[in-house]
A and B are shown apart, each in its own frame.
Chain A
Amino acid sequence: NAGVMQNPRHLVRRRGQEARLRCSPMKGHSHVYWYRQLPEEGLKFMVYLQKENIIDESGMPKERFSAEFPKEGPSILRIQQVVRGDSAAYFCASSSRKQDSGNTIYFGEGSWLTVV
């Protein structure tokens, strides 16, 4: 009964490098959400994806950040040319969007990105 799986749990990158964070949703879930949590702050919505489609990316920074959820494989959040301000915990969540689930989202354990 695997939940939402995120990897890596911890990632260290130098300024200017790329960071790739992966998320496998719960079994049976086809909707993925990415959130960012900065130190001492709440969760900020970034992007909502279904398989092969971006539904809502209103929370994504305009540059350097991208997300995908291919037909096969995990969802990927990609941050190019990382800067120190990108250091944060990135949480993935998934849902089934079935009516009786009420669109409840379930979270992974998070990926902690540190930019040095």
Chain B
Amino acid sequence: AQSVTQPDIHITVSEGASLELRCNYSYGATPYLFWYVQSPGQGLQLLLKYFSGDTLVQGIKGFEAEFKRSQSSFNLRKPSVHWSDAAEYFCAVGLNTGGFKTIFGAGTRLFVKA
């Protein structure tokens, strides 16, 4: 069955430090891959997406993610975290299974300390 795994429930980083959020997926074909961010009480905002081509994709707010087929991973990175990045981050996989739907990982809550 298709699935998305975000192994870290919580991550705490210092402001200015680098960040990597992990995401692994299970899907037979090459999936569409997404990262979304959710602030408390808000909807989800798309950070970036991968469909094909260059495996390193750039997103908004200084985020990037790298697709590694051999590892079935799509990790999110940012070289220097700002306090405003504190939020919940969701990795998602878009599946074309007759219809099309997107399934989400459980999310990683990012805390930023001064």
Interface residues of A (CB under 8 A from B): 4, 31, 33, 35, 41-45, 48, 55-56, 91, 93, 95, 97, 102-110, 112
Contact of A33 among B34, B49, B102 (CB under 8 A): B102
The answer to whether B28 has its CB under 8 Å from any CB of chain A is: no
The answer to whether B56 has its CB under 8 Å from any CB of chain A is: no
Contact of B99 among A56, A108, A109 (CB under 8 A): A56
> B107 touching A102 by the CB < 8 A rule?
no
Interface residues of B (CB under 8 A from A): 32, 34, 36, 41-46, 49, 51, 90, 94, 96, 98-107
> B44 touching A107 by the CB < 8 A rule?
yes
> A43 touching B100 by the CB < 8 A rule?
no
> A41 touching B106 by the CB < 8 A rule?
yes
> A106 touching B103 by the CB < 8 A rule?
no
Contact of B103 among A4, A31, A45, A108 (CB under 8 A): A45
> A105 touching B102 by the CB < 8 A rule?
yes
> B99 touching A55 by the CB < 8 A rule?
yes
Contact of A108 among B43, B49, B96, B107 (CB under 8 A): B43
Given contacts A48-B99, A102-B49, A102-B51, contact A43 B43 (CB under 8 A): no
Q: In whole angstroms, what is the CA distance A42 to B106 when docked?
A: 4
